[in-house]
Amino acid sequence: MAGPSRRRRRLHLSKIYSYTCGKSSFQEDHSNIGGPGFSRVVYCNEPGSPAAERRNYAGNYVRSTKYTLASFFPKSLFEQFRRVANFYFLVTGILSLTDLSPYGAVSALLPLALVISATMVKEGIEDWRRKQQDIEVNNRKVKVHDGNGIFRQEEWRNLRVGDIVRVEKDEFFPADLLLLSSSYEDSICYVETMNLDGETNLKVKQGLEATSLLLNQDSDFKDFSAVVRCEDPNVNLYVFVGTLALEEERFPLSIQQILLRDSKLRNTEYVYGAVVFTGHDTKVIQNSTDPPSKRSRIERKMDKIIYLMFGLVFLMSFVGSIIFGVETRDDKLKNGRTERWYLKPDEADIFFDPERAPVAAIFHFFTATMLYSYFIPISLYVSIEIVKVLQSIFINRDIHMYYEETDKPAQARTSNLNEELGMVDTILSDKTGTLTCNSMEFIKCSIAGTAYGRGITEVERAMAVRSGGSPLVNEDLDVVVDRSAPKVKGFNFEDERIMNGNWVRQPEAAVLQKFFRLLAVCHTAIPETDEESGNVSYEAESPDEAAFVIAAREFGFEFFNRTQNGISFREMDLVSGEKVERVYKLLNILEFNSTRKRMSVIVRDDDGKLLLLSKGADNVMFERLAKNGRQFEAKTQEHVNQYADAGLRTLILAYREVDENEYIEFNKNFNEAKASVSEDREALIDEITDRMERDLILLGATAVEDKLQNGVPECIDKLAQAGIKIWVLTGDKMETAINIGFASSLLRQEMKQIIINLETPHIKSLEKSGGKDEIELASRESVVMQLQEGKALLAASGASSEAFALIIDGKSLTYALEDEIKKTFLDLATGCASVICCRSSPKQKALVTRLVKSGTGKTTLAIGDGANDVGMLQEADIGVGISGVEGMQAVMSSDIAIAQFRYLERLLLVHGHWCYSRIASMVK
């Protein structure tokens, strides 16, 4: 199938994305290519060549099942004989084949065979369901080059290392690919990695210039040939080392050119890629672990009961055999017959021989053990398995846990853990996609010291309900607010003072105009115009970014076109009152990252003025304001605090005019820093941008609400009332996590927050000037001190009813999970009503889950929706996967799957209670 003949969009985003798109150089690990750990050779576009086939790389078929056809019987039998009773009956069954048996072998072995067969059939059916999901993933289609300049549809499982594939917009990457070119002229593409690391912000990837110039459409691949030499398969998601040999030239490769399996292509029409790693060699599968074998607490307790009963049987048999040996020894022959003639000792070789009484006693012990084996009820296991299967059917068929919007019912993927649902003590939850919909809405703003927006957040509603007021009345504005679904996705703002062009009549109209212009210009979104309706939609790196551009459009400042050098938008002219088009020349974009906590653009407006437009977190923006730019600072700070209390995500907007000479000097230094390949490249860029983003003039602040899934606050309230502790483990920054904590009722206004982080001035100064060992030592001491201070606060509160919430960041968590510190951390965390771990890596999520499970000895449940949650789900006693719209990695690794977080309430408090109660009663 031939590719599009039209020319690709001429938008050189590499000049815009100054941080993410740096060039690789032949340094460090590139010198190891060809050596141990760096021996992979990929023949691009020649997967069937003899040289490629000799490598014998893994295929692209992946599986998440516990068993294979070959391993099912040995592994499943091992699982069955982990049960003490099954092993005991196996031993007695083997003994029943001997002459010692007081009954026939069939009566001993048949029940055991039925029990084990029934359980193995159940295990096989459950694993077959996992197999079906694997089949669905492996049979997904992707376009693969057939060698003649034509791309044909092919199943994922048939991909080979070296294949050239074409991936379309909103499709998942079928393997780890080397990006060759894209629909953009300079091989830029957007990638969503939520299934890998939980981050919702899009990443920008860029192919090599050498391949992007050669490969523009399908037919260009007919004669393409190249060789990649790179690292062997490994678990590191953020590092790739390799070289590309093309037309007798060698080019360095980095992670910037690699598209990882299970990532999704966004905001890009198509990309071409060469398959580098397939199947179980891909980085996401390398990071996964085999499905663990989980057993319920009742099953483990039954094993202990069986041990007790076996002890009683052993004691009875032992005492009986001793008495039997003594009596046999004392048995006398009278007239050629023993006193116990009815035992027919004359016909027995040994069992009743008075001359061999000790041996007779030993044999009697085995006989008695078999005879008393019926004290241990083997039928109980069969009954329990039948009940568990029926309980799983009840869970699967519960209409109250069916999500109609996505046609997803609840699914008990394993029936072994049903009763554990009624014993859960701690829930460890992901945030994005689990508690939230990851759908941002522009709801409030503060401009020129005036607060706008009549919307009421979920946090404010919950507070109003608790205080006995109406949740729908904004007391400051004395109006009833419509809380129905927003008319425009991403925009839930109501205020007649500035809507519908009324902002022009406000006293600070000029400031409002600058504010709206900043929203329309300071971003990296790409507009897409529907040719039929003329409506403009936006593809943005994050939901926040999209919400800002949509808000600007709704306020009358419609961004509609981006070119290589300009941003075009329509606005209302203050003089004529009519819509006019404005084009701002785009000179530089200074990207947002977690260190800078801000994003800026440098533009030239249509009057020729140079402007720096900036938006960022309040703690970094307020300190960058000029003396004459703080006119609205106090009022804006007050509003930002109110927004934060309302669970909103806030950003400060500011600007300044830039002198021509200053810009020339900045641009020169900035381009030199971008072109640098030294280790301190990022530090150089940060230093240069930091000097430019100074002396700003404050305009106002935005407030965006990350919409929770329906029913989350109510569900968390009910679970807390049931005595279940809830921990949130998220990759998001602390401010965001705290906001969501308030919105979801995890945090309450009256709670005292114990915050543990490494943002102290001493640590920051060490990070700039100190050595690695010195930083680690100081960081560890700081974390220990903060943990001890937190424990002291808990102890001081004593018997008082005040609740505490522990909030800890990822850096601090690294030290808190060390062997000598983790006990202190766990003691503090278990003493708090709520715990939030921010900036947590997938590995940290799993380690925290393991710590809670082993440290408390109580039942833990983990819930998540992405591949970054898999370790946590597998580590917990029960793993619950959210079957959302993005991938199925969490579901495929879970024990139970549900479609919405709110169904957890019914799953635990209804089905969990029933299952536990019924199984416990049955065992009794």
Predicted pLDDT at 253: 87
pTM of the model: 0.66
Can you tell me the mean pLDDT for 246-255? 86
462 vs 420: which has the higher pLDDT: 420
* pLDDT tens profile 869-885: 888 888 898 999 887 65
Name the H helices within 191-296. 194-197, 209-214, 283-286
Q: Give 777's contacts (C-beta < 8 A, 6+ positions apart).
A: none
User: Tokens 């116990």 correspond to what residue?
Assistant: 340
pLDDT surpasses 50 at 64: yes
Predicted pLDDT at 266: 84
487 vs 623: which has the higher pLDDT: 623
pLDDT band at 468 (very low <50, low <70, confident <90, very high): low
> Could you give the percent of the chain with pLDDT greater than 70?
85
Measure the CA–CA gap between 861 and 791, rounded to whole angstroms. 25
Instruction: Provide the 3-class DSSP secondary structure of residue 424.
Output: strand
Predicted pLDDT at 326: 84
* pLDDT tens profile 120-148: 887 888 788 778 888 888 999 999 998 88
Measure the CA–CA gap between 9 and 539, rounded to whole angstroms. 15
Can you tell me the mean pLDDT for 198-212? 78
Q: Are strands 40-44 and 226-230 parallel, antiparallel or unpaired?
A: antiparallel
* 221 in a known ligand binding site: no
Predicted pLDDT at 471: 45
Tokens matching residue 250: 């060698």
Can you tell me the mean pLDDT for 374-397? 81
* pLDDT tens profile 545-594: 889 999 999 999 999 888 767 899 998 777 776 788 999 998 888 887 66
* 668 in a known ligand binding site: no
Please report, for residues 385, 440, 607, 797, the alpha-carbon distance to residue 695 in angstroms, rounded to integers and kept in the order given: 71, 30, 22, 45
HSE on the CB side for 886, CA within 13 Å?
25
pLDDT surpasses 70 at 200: no
Among candidates 903, 818, 457, which has minimal Cα distance to 650?
A: 457
* 431 in a known ligand binding site: yes
Can you tell me the mean pLDDT for 733-755? 78
- Backbone φ and ψ of 672, nearest 5°: -65, -40
Instruction: Provide the 3-class DSSP secondary structure of residue 494.
Output: coil
Tokens matching residue 269: 């029409």
Burial level of 349, CB count in 10 A (0-12/13-18/19+)? exposed
> Could you give the percent of the chain with pLDDT greater than 90?
22
- Backbone φ and ψ of 679, nearest 5°: -65, -30
Predicted pLDDT at 663: 92
End-to-end CA distance of the chain: 67
Cβ contact 826:854 at 8 Å: no
* 869 in a known ligand binding site: yes
Helix (H) or strand (E) holding 643: helix 633-645
Burial level of 184, CB count in 10 A (0-12/13-18/19+)? buried
The pLDDT mean for the chain works out to 81
Q: Are strands 859-864 and 424-429 parallel, antiparallel or unpaired?
A: parallel
The amino acid present at 333, given as its one-letter code, is L
331 vs 525: which has the higher pLDDT: 525
Instruction: Provide the 3-class DSSP secondary structure of residue 647.
Output: coil
pLDDT surpasses 80 at 224: yes
What angle (nearest 5°) sits at the alpha carbon of residue 847, between those of residues 846 and 853?
A: 90
* 327 in a known ligand binding site: no
pLDDT band at 479 (very low <50, low <70, confident <90, very high): very low
433 vs 282: which has the higher pLDDT: 282
* 545 in a known ligand binding site: yes
Active-site annotation, residues: 430
Helix (H) or strand (E) holding 725: strand 725-729
Predicted pLDDT at 483: 45
